[in-house]
Amino acid sequence: MIVLDASTLIAHFDTSDGHHARAEELLLSAAGEALGASLLTLAELFVGPARVGQLTRATAAVRQLGVQAVDLDHELAARLALLRAETGLKLPDCCVLLAADQTGAAVATFDDRLAAVARDRGHLVLGAEPSQR
């Protein structure tokens, strides 16, 4: 499975996004892989379409892409808080990490900070530039 972050999904669906071509390439190369996203990631993606009355169209497009919601059980709230405290990442990025931890998935992101933390946690990272450490 590949867990997608909001930057990857937004870039895929928005042809004017600066990462659109990279997102298209990433998703084409992932053909045949299961795709997932946390519920918070999906909510982030749907904000823009909801603002312009296109929520139904956006949810249909996500279903057509085959993205499955990765359930983050309410009992994982403490782990999510710990991730936030340890990494300093924003909560949505922590949801991506937790979903990847739960599924053993790779992480698709264009966010360099999220990519670095995901790599440090042993996840394969797709999309972001390799770390220059």
131 found inside a domain:
no
Round to whole Å and give the CA distance between 12 and 19. Answer: 8
32 found inside a domain:
yes
Tokens of 21: 């071509």
132 found inside a domain:
no
State the residue range of the domain holding 12. Answer: 2-126
Per DSSP, 25 falls in state H
User: Per-residue pLDDT averaged across 65-75, rounded?
Assistant: 87
- How many structural domains does the chain have? 1
The CATH number of residue 49's host domain is 3.40.50.1010
Counting residues of the chain whose pLDDT is more than 70, the rounded percentage is 97
Measure CA 31 to chain center: 16
pTM: 0.88
pLDDT tens-digit readout, 46-67:
999 999 999 999 999 999 999 9
102 found inside a domain:
yes
110 found inside a domain:
yes
Residue 27: strand, helix, or coil: helix
| pLDDT the model gives residue 131 | 60
